[in-house]
Structure 1
Amino acid sequence: MRDPKNLLRSSYSFNRRRLLTGFGATALGGSLSGVVRAETLHHSVADAPVANAASPEDSVPHLGLHQAGVVNARPANGMVASFDVLARDADELEALFRTLTARIAFLTVGGPVPMLDPKLPPADSGLLGPVVRPDNLTITLSLGASLFDDRPWLAPLKPKHLTRMTRFPNDALDADICHGDLSIQICANTQDTTIHALRDIIKASSRQMILKWKQEGNVPVITPGPDGRAESARNFLGFRDGSANPDSSDAAEMDRVVWVGPDEGEPAWATGGSYQVVRIIRNFVERWDRTPFGEQERIMGRAKMTGAPLDRREGSEFDVPDYASDPEGKATPMDAHIRLANARDEASRANIILRRPFNYSNGVTRSGQLDQGLLFICYQANLEQGFITVQRKLNGEPLEEYIKPVGGGFFYTLPGIRDASDYVGSSLIAAARGA
């Protein structure tokens, strides 16, 4: 059973502006009775940012049972940065965690930048000017398998399912943009805010960790329709990316899907955390753009313009495909992406993940092709039952001809910072000292 007290659920909080303007993406579980229905609309992670809604004063609380940046809706910009950690013992790791907590506390709340003696380096990069505003910033810290594997005093405390990211059949992983001891997900309304936060963290922790790789991305801003409902944003293949995500405003559903509870066989310190998967997935957009429209839809399993499932073309992305009425795949092919990823039966409920993706565009490859794709991020309480199982189902799918995962890693998102006297990772440090 999950924590019945639901302590400090500030990480579920949304600023007032987004509560008034955001409308929802969908829950992943379909109708098990075979009755097709439109899914209930809620404000969710998959919602695209709403036009003319963001403000520099938007803020997300950084204190709570869980870290911010997991279940709250994506702002327009995000990045993942991976670091090698230099800490040799619990004291040094605690010092790093406290440093990061202090920077999170300032950057997500904002305030005037201290003015120092001009003969000294400035206290801040100045990228945001003399006053730092929160700008919907979240900073989420997660630990890689190598942090535990390379330190005997931490190894017994490694989360049960945490491993180095394995190579799947369609992967072409570049070692320079894979893995790491610590991942930091940074999300905000504007790119300047995410870059400012990264530079601030690097400056504050330069003696404690070294940047290994980073990938930036963004989410297209959407204008709501006449009914006030915002659609999911499109990825670089032109399809909506976020349809059929679980409802991240449903605390009970997030306890089931995302957050690790005390009864799941994990080390006690890990309660309240989650498994994070990061995948840098290149899209072969030139090849895709030369593929017939109908074939694109059959590969994905959705109507390209509306996002509706192929057995309900008159509907919308919020409608649920009825696979029970299409057992031979005449409407939605059996190897369509959405059908392989989620069969919408009782068994597949155990494999639901919370997706939080961003589009990326890195320029041009040496072969003269656009380097574009998806910064795929997802969270789940069980890495094996979640992403790994879903990816195995997708191995060999027709979509593989048009995508190539090239980087990323598996990480464990630390439990939240419970109050102002706490720091991120405190439960791990206490467990390490106790051991």
Structure 2
Amino acid sequence: MRRDQAGDERAPVRDDGRRGFLKCAAGLAGVAAAGLSREATAADRGRDSGRTLPDRVPFHGRHQAGIVTPQQLFAGFAGFDVLAENREGLEKLFRTLTHRSRVLAAGVKPRDEQVAAEEPTPDSLTITLGVGASLFDDRFGLSGHKPRHLKAMPAFPDDRLEPARCHGDLSLQICGQHPDAIVHVLRDVARETDGLLRPRWRSDAFLNPSRPSGSPRTFVGFKDGIVNPDTESTREMDRLLWVTPPCGEPDWALGGSYQVLRLIRFHVEKWDKVPVDRQEKIFGRHKASGAPLGGKQETDLPDYRRDPHGEIIPLDAHIRLANPRTAKTDDSRFLRRSYNYNNGFDTHGRMDLGLVFAGYQQDPERQFATVQQRLEHEPLAEFITPIGGGYFFVLPGVQDPDDWFGSQLLKKI
């Protein structure tokens, strides 16, 4: 039976905020821990993600860290409902999240980790905060200040969204070089925001190293994130990623970015029965090298003009639909920063593996939704199912030690 609607945008009240938060934060110790620890050993031996990460990623700036930052090995994604009762409570929450993010990103260990650690371990930690459409209801007087394109993530035709894994007033993305760092941050946030937040959904994730080199691989065996906009180009970032004055967004939103999170489950038992040559045609790439079909290196560019009938790369191949490489479709590109997840086995004995898809862009309708429409009913859709996630707006960066998340938004009230 298909479930094509995401359900009500607000989560039902479960247990009290603190118990639910701590239960959510402790989840990594179960089914994911063993898989993450094995991946950590391999990944720590040789990172091949391109630019080298600093031990400490700067927290202050026009934009939040964790977007154009080179990917760390591990990540945690979570959606939350805000329990604050008024504008003052919301400001307290934002100030607290800012303070703790600033302290932790600077390398100061959370209270629960201080005694256990022999010495501080640099984690290249980034904590990225987004706001959902539901935050702009009538609770805090924000309804007239919502970003233009922010709404609850719709269910696309190939989705089977589960309401308990969708949406939220806030999104939190935590990235670092060790899996325990993610849990320590969540525990810290739970303590410091007691009574102000309730967890809605959570997914812990990690990068699979590509052996021997190149872009990381997903659990269907193909390399992921090979083609992205040039994050070193200010012009390209201002055209595709960051909210700028020509976008017509509220002034407080300048410097922010739209975040699309998608929890995508892979049907690996079914996928593993498909011959490799057929898998390659579904993706449009060679499985071993990551090169487009007919190419040799993953960095080779597909030349669709010389293959107008799809004799080399099928017309319905994933890479061809997602990025047709035409002048008309160039503005629909966006930055992908995705991670793998492993939740063990489900109640039917099937492996629960997949991707936490994270996309950043200037306009989710022009970019993500447009790409999604091109991918509708693609051959790959038979082997994957989006089950959760949400649309969020990543707040502009915290400019200096006196600034805080959402300061410009709440000053507009």
TM-score (structure 1 length as normaliser): 0.81
Q: Give the number of aligned pairs.
A: 369
- 3-state DSSP of counterpart to 2:227: coil
- 1:110 counterpart (107, 112, 115): 107
Code of the aligned partner of 2:204: E
- Residue number in structure 2 paired with 1:397: 378
- Residue number in structure 2 paired with 1:202: 190
Q: Quote how far apart the aligned CAs of 1:87 are.
A: 2.4
- Residue number in structure 2 paired with 1:425: 406
- Residue number in structure 1 paired with 2:332: 351
Q: Structure 2 vs 1, CA of residues 156 and 112 (structure 1 numbering), >3 Å: closer, same or farther? A: closer
For 2:205 and 2:221, locate their aligned partners in 1 and report how far apart those are by CA, in whole Å: 16
Q: Structure 2 vs 1, CA of residues 182 and 420 (structure 1 numbering), >3 Å: closer, same or farther? A: same
TM-score (structure 2 length as normaliser): 0.85
Q: Structure 2 vs 1, CA of residues 426 and 358 (structure 1 numbering), >3 Å: closer, same or farther? A: same
| Larger helix share, 1 or 2 | 2
For 2:288 and 2:102, locate their aligned partners in 1 and report how far apart those are by CA, in whole Å: 42
Unmatched segments (≥5 aa) in structure 1: 1-47, 114-122
Structure 2 residue 97 is matched with structure 1 residue 100: yes
- 3-state DSSP of counterpart to 1:412: strand
Code of the aligned partner of 2:67: V
Identity %: 46
Structure 2 residue 265 is matched with structure 1 residue 282: yes
Q: Structure 2 vs 1, CA of residues 256 and 278 (structure 1 numbering), >3 Å: closer, same or farther? A: same
Q: Quote how far apart the aligned CAs of 1:339 are.
A: 0.5
Q: Quote how far apart the aligned CAs of 1:393 are.
A: 0.7
Structure 2 residue 289 is matched with structure 1 residue 306: yes
Q: Quote how far apart the aligned CAs of 1:49 are.
A: 6.8
- 1:267 counterpart (250, 274, 282): 250
- 2:214 counterpart (227, 231, 239): 231
- Residue number in structure 2 paired with 1:369: 350
For 1:297 and 1:430, locate their aligned partners in 2 and report how far apart those are by CA, in whole Å: 52
Q: Structure 2 vs 1, CA of residues 304 and 128 (structure 1 numbering), >3 Å: closer, same or farther? A: farther
Please say which of residues 150-159 and 51-60 is displaced more in the overlay. Answer: 51-60
Code of the aligned partner of 1:90: R
- 3-state DSSP of counterpart to 2:158: coil
Q: Structure 2 vs 1, CA of residues 52 and 102 (structure 1 numbering), >3 Å: closer, same or farther? A: same
1:68-87 equivalence runs, <5 A:
68-87=65-84
* Superposition CA RMSD, Å: 2.1
- 1:328 counterpart (309, 323, 334): 309
Q: Quote how far apart the aligned CAs of 1:216 are.
A: 0.6
Please say which of residues 214-223 and 352-361 is displaced more in the overlay. Answer: 214-223
- 2:148 counterpart (157, 160, 164): 160
Structure 2 residue 55 is matched with structure 1 residue 58: yes
- 1:181 counterpart (150, 160, 169): 169
For 2:113 and 2:55, locate their aligned partners in 1 and report how far apart those are by CA, in whole Å: 21
CA contact (8 A) 1:334 1:340 kept: yes
CA contact (8 A) 1:50 1:222 kept: no
- Residue number in structure 2 paired with 1:296: 279
Please say which of residues 86-95 and 388-397 is displaced more in the overlay. Answer: 86-95
- Residue number in structure 1 paired with 2:297: 316
- Residue number in structure 1 paired with 2:9: none
Q: Structure 2 vs 1, CA of residues 291 and 53 (structure 1 numbering), >3 Å: closer, same or farther? A: closer
For 2:183 and 2:232, locate their aligned partners in 1 and report how far apart those are by CA, in whole Å: 28
Q: Structure 2 vs 1, CA of residues 378 and 49 (structure 1 numbering), >3 Å: closer, same or farther? A: farther
CA contact (8 A) 2:86 2:140 kept: no
- 3-state DSSP of counterpart to 1:311: coil
Q: Structure 2 vs 1, CA of residues 214 and 402 (structure 1 numbering), >3 Å: closer, same or farther? A: same
Q: Quote how far apart the aligned CAs of 1:251 are.
A: 2.7
